Structure 1
Amino acid sequence: MKRINALLAGSIIALSLAGCSDDDDDVVVVDPPAPAPEYANVRVIHASSDAPLVNITANDAILNGLEGVDYQVASGRFEVEVGTYDIGVTAILPGDDAEVLQADLTLDADTNYDVFAVGSVADNTLMLLPVTSAETAVEAGNVQVQIVHAASMAPTVDIYVTAPGADLSAEQPIVTAAFMDATDLIQVPAGEYQIRITLPGTTTVAFDSGTVPLPDGGDLLVAATNNVGTGESPVTLLVADGTSSSMIWDVNATADIRVVHGISDAPAVDVIANNALTLVDGAAFLAATDYISVAADDYLIDVAADADNSIVPIDDAMITVEQGKFYTAIANNTLAMPELDLLMDMPRDIATEVQVRIIHASPDAGDVDIYVTGDGMIDSVDPAFAGVGYSTDMLAETGYVSLAAGDYYVTVTAAGTKTAAIETGMLSLAAGSIYTAIAVDGTNDGDAPQLILLDDF
């Protein structure tokens, strides 16, 4: 409406000037209206698996609200007036943020620009990859697809898009693509398809989507990205439809769960799913398992005494785990009032930062303050996290806190005091690493709380 109103306003002014002339013979010269602006279509995709969250700028201003964009996220498609823009990618870093990528991009009318951040921070191959296509209507009954190889850790591959279950030996790949290659726009009849990726000239499948629906009228960008989820496939497909984006995991990808025994007065336990599948056998207090792969599904979890499975302190606790995701299940509280909490993990290493996560699972500790310092001295500093309480609804945690690499001390005190209940001593924390600590009760009555250390500790 603003464009329409501007044209109307100009016409009214011109007519008014003509009507006010004292001499009907005078000629009033009216400048023609400026041509309507033209627009390109832009979408931005974060496809660098070891890069932090980023902000996207155009001519030094945030572009279309694109702040804090995470890996494997594509923006919606939006219009930008044609012209040349200074496109920047600013990494969100501990301390000062920094522009890490810059390129001048000329936008033409009626053209789609999918701007990828690809490559790796760690090996200094981070770059911008603009993928262009002509704005093209999708014919009735069809779906339009453009495929991009944006997985820096994957080699040149053959990509097949076939009817579900088709014999690959009788099919031809839709494209053989090296890293950063992209197809033209491809229209196929809408319906169910199977997307498989192999090494060139082979039918050994490295990625299998299973059966996926490609909707009538859909206009899809499908990008192979480095897999940071579960499963053995090197890639996960990022699908963007112009409004939002989603992931297609390899059909064999699992949900991965690890189990922590955090009940100090409980004996060694077995963890049993659906009364049939033993996930953990004989875990003692303070034990933490490696990740265990299970099918994505709903489960009823029993935590039973290892010595006698008829003693079940936690009976039929319902959990739901999703394909491609990682989880930590923590048995906590006391033997008289046991709890099982399921937390989602995000174990993506980020080359520019340390990630620290602290989970409060100690009922004896009560409300605590958590300090993260460079020298262990807390008398004159405020806690990084204040008044963190133990909760029987859902365990309180810091989330993944980004720090610069270096030496740190973590100190936990009773809330509002400077009296240390837990002191770690100096921790040398490396960039590209994840450190998880779970505070639990002391082993014996009256003992101070202690930490269970996970991941890269």
Structure 2
Amino acid sequence: MKPIKSKILLGLALAATAVLAACSGGDDSIDDRVGLSKPSVRVIHAITAGPNVDVLQNGTKTSLQNIPYKTVSGYFDVATGSNLFAFNLTGTATQIGATTVDAHTGHKYTVVALPGTATADVIQIDDPYGKGILSTSARIRGLNASINAQNVDMYLTTPALDLNTVSPTIAGVSYKNAVPPSGQDSIYVDGGTYRLRITTAGTKSVIFDSGALTVARNDDWLITTIPADGFGAVIPNRIKVLVAQSNTSNTTAQELVTQ
């Protein structure tokens, strides 16, 4: 029986390798999918029209220096246990926010600098990454960083679908929180053409409409609402959306405005 078992395991490994080779990019290795990868962190600058910042880890500057709004770092490995991440105004010791990540094997973490009430704020998302070895589904999570739209529902549907006929894809996203929440895996959808519509929570009143957009197989999206007017935004529900995708190198989030 051992030779047969070995052939089965070899076949699964080859199949997994083929699937991952067909991925659209990003940080999505076999180790990630079986939960054996080192803990890793990515950093997102989502402060609408905010200042450039330096990112520090445990008091030491990282390579993420003078990064502008919409920067999404690649995932980078960190040691297990406590890791303090701070955002300083570029070239200064002036800290605008910080958070401590308690890192565990097999988990990915996203640290987001976002617009607060009068100053910046920082939150983190723990993603246990439960994607199956052979899955080609896209992973989706919503984050609300809009102080002027404090509770929203997100609908990711086929473009022509009547919202009155469906429940939200991501429901009840409150300000400075993610859905699925930190510590739970993302939701999974098939690749294809979609339309993102965001409503005030519990209603069908659309406050954001992306129009048609493409979600590719194996994409990994963090959909973040932010105030269209930045700090001090006072017009209710005037928002835009940043889409951050998993990656192995620094990139720029896609900014969506309502169509």
Task: Provide the TM-score with structure 1 as the length reference.
Answer: 0.42
Q: Give the superposition deviation at 1:386.
A: 3.5
Q: Is the 8 A contact 2:152 2:171 kept in 1?
A: yes
1:449 is matched with 239
> For residue 301 of structure 1, what is the amino acid of its counterpart?
F
Distance 2:61 2:47 in 1: 22
Greater shift, 260-269 or 405-414, is seen at 260-269
CA 1:154–1:379 in structure 2 vs 1: closer, same or farther (change >3 Å)?
closer
> For residue 455 of structure 1, what is the amino acid of its counterpart?
Q
Distance 2:16 2:167 in 1: 43
Q: Is the 8 A contact 1:301 1:319 kept in 2?
A: yes
Q: Could you list the per-position Cα deviations for residues 228-266 of structure 1 after superposition, in whole angstroms to 9, with x for gaps in the alignment?
A: 339xxxxx7xxxxxxxxxx7x5xxx64321111122263
1:85 is matched with none
Q: Give the superposition deviation at 1:298.
A: 1.4
2:58 is matched with 274
Structure 2 unmatched runs, 5+:
18-28, 247-253, 255-259
Q: Is the 8 A contact 1:266 1:334 kept in 2?
A: no
Distance 1:372 1:360 in 2: 15
* Matching of residues 203-282 of structure 1 within 5 Å: 227-229=30-32, 254-264=38-48, 266-282=50-66
Q: Could you list the per-position Cα deviations for residues 124-166 of structure 1 after superposition, in whole angstroms to 9, with x for gaps in the alignment?
A: x56xxxxxxxxxxxxxxxxxxxxxxxx44799xxxxxxxxxxx
1:312 is matched with 95
Distance 1:368 1:116 in 2: 49
CA 1:380–1:328 in structure 2 vs 1: closer, same or farther (change >3 Å)?
same
CA 1:435–1:266 in structure 2 vs 1: closer, same or farther (change >3 Å)?
closer
Q: Is the 8 A contact 1:413 1:419 kept in 2?
A: yes
* Matching of residues 405-444 of structure 1 within 5 Å: 405-444=191-230
Q: Does 1:331 align with 2:128?
A: no
- Match of 2:148, SS? helix
* Matching of residues 1-400 of structure 1 within 5 Å: 151-152=13-14, 227-229=30-32, 254-264=38-48, 266-306=50-90, 308-315=91-98, 317-334=99-116, 336-345=118-127, 346=129, 348=131, 350-384=134-168, 385-391=170-176, 395-398=177-180, 400=186
Q: Give the superposition deviation at 1:374.
A: 1.2
Q: Is the 8 A contact 2:40 2:77 kept in 1?
A: yes
Distance 1:299 1:357 in 2: 23
Q: Does 1:403 align with 2:189?
A: yes
Structure 1 unmatched runs, 5+:
1-114, 127-150, 156-225, 231-235, 237-246
Identity %: 21
Task: Provide the TM-score with structure 2 as the length reference.
Answer: 0.69
RMSD across aligned C-alpha pairs, in angstroms?
A: 3.7
> For residue 240 of structure 2, what is the amino acid of its counterpart?
Q
Q: Is the 8 A contact 1:279 1:292 kept in 2?
A: no
Q: Give the superposition deviation at 1:341.
A: 1.8
Which structure's relative contact order is higher, taking Cα pairs within 8 Å and 6+ residues apart? Answer: 2
2:23 is matched with none
The structure with the greater share of residues assigned to helix is: 2
Q: Could you list the per-position Cα deviations for residues 175-220 of structure 1 after superposition, in whole angstroms to 9, with x for gaps in the alignment?
A: xxxxxxxxxxxxxxxxxxxxxxxxxxxxxxxxxxxxxxxxxxxxxx
Q: Is the 8 A contact 2:144 2:150 kept in 1?
A: no
Q: Give the superposition deviation at 1:336.
A: 3.0
Distance 1:396 1:453 in 2: 14
> For residue 440 of structure 1, what is the amino acid of its counterpart?
I
Q: Give the superposition deviation at 1:300.
A: 2.4
Q: Give the superposition deviation at 1:362.
A: 1.9
> For residue 313 of structure 1, what is the amino acid of its counterpart?
I
Larger-Rg structure: 1
Q: Is the 8 A contact 1:378 1:418 kept in 2?
A: no
